[in-house]
């Protein structure tokens, strides 16, 4: 069945047997071509394999199948497509796709204003559109409105994202503070160590930077 092939493909992906996983996703799609999930998983696997043009075809199919009223799913798929377009150097098309994603996230947030994951996602889109100040404003809002009695994953990922936006604006000292907050809370995020290393390098802290970037690499950081 399609579900069995999807499960097999997922396991093979986890085992890093990408070609076999791709074949399994194709089997799943062959048995149930209307299942949007299989197209999305296939697209993201093709991105991992750096087969970006094929991934774009799969994202287009997922967008075609997505229900008009599922704004969050559409927003995420447009975001993923935009990222793949960037990888192929089609930057203008990527910008258009990010704009589509942003509009859809705004609609989703209007429907569900308390959903922090939607706000985080909007922040990511704004960052990719180089609208860094607006992204920071979103991250500030998340940190102000999320209970801080027990800081959790939301705080960590938001500190890292806020650090990235500050670093993009050249505000490296402030970025350092954000990355350090995230690392103090959980030292296992490669993105925090990478951001810390880049901020340290920009501030001329060469030795610290090389150490931080090495930790990021050891934790599996990938661009």
pLDDT at 2: 72
pLDDT at 195: 98
Q: Contact at 8 Å (CB) between 92 and 46?
A: no
pLDDT at 12: 80
pLDDT at 7: 78
- What is the pTM (predicted TM-score) of this model? 0.88
pLDDT at 219: 96
pLDDT at 149: 55
Q: Which residues of the chain have pLDDT under 50?
A: none
pLDDT at 154: 85
pLDDT at 148: 65
Report domain 1-65's class. Answer: mainly alpha
pLDDT at 11: 84
């Amino acid at each position: 069945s399609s579900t069995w092939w999807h499960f097999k493909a997922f396991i093979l992906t986890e085992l890093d047997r990408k070609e076999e996983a791709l074949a399994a996703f194709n089997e799943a799609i062959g048995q149930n071509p209307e299942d949007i999930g299989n197209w999305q998983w296939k697209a993201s696997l093709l991105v991992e394999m750096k087969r970006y043009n094929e991934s774009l075809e799969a994202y287009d199919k997922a967008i075609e199948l997505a229900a008009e009223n599922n704004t969050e799913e559409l927003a995420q798929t447009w975001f993923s497509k935009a990222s793949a377009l960037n990888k192929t150097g089609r930057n203008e098309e990527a910008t258009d796709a990010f704009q589509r994603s942003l509009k859809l996230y705004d609609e989703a947030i209007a429907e569900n204003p308390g959903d922090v994951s939607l706000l985080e996602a909007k922040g990511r889109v704004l960052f990719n559109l180089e609208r860094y100040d607006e992204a920071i404003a979103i991250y500030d809002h998340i940190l102000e409105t999320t209970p801080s009695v027990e800081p959790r994953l939301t705080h960590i990922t938001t500190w890292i994202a806020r650090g990235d936006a500050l670093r993009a604006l050249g505000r490296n000292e402030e970025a350092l503070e954000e990355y350090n907050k995230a690392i103090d809370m959980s030292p296992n995020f490669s993105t925090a160590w990478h951001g810390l290393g880049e901020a340290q390098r920009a501030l001329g802290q060469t030795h610290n930077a090389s150490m931080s970037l090495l930790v990021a690499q050891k934790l599996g950081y990938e661009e």
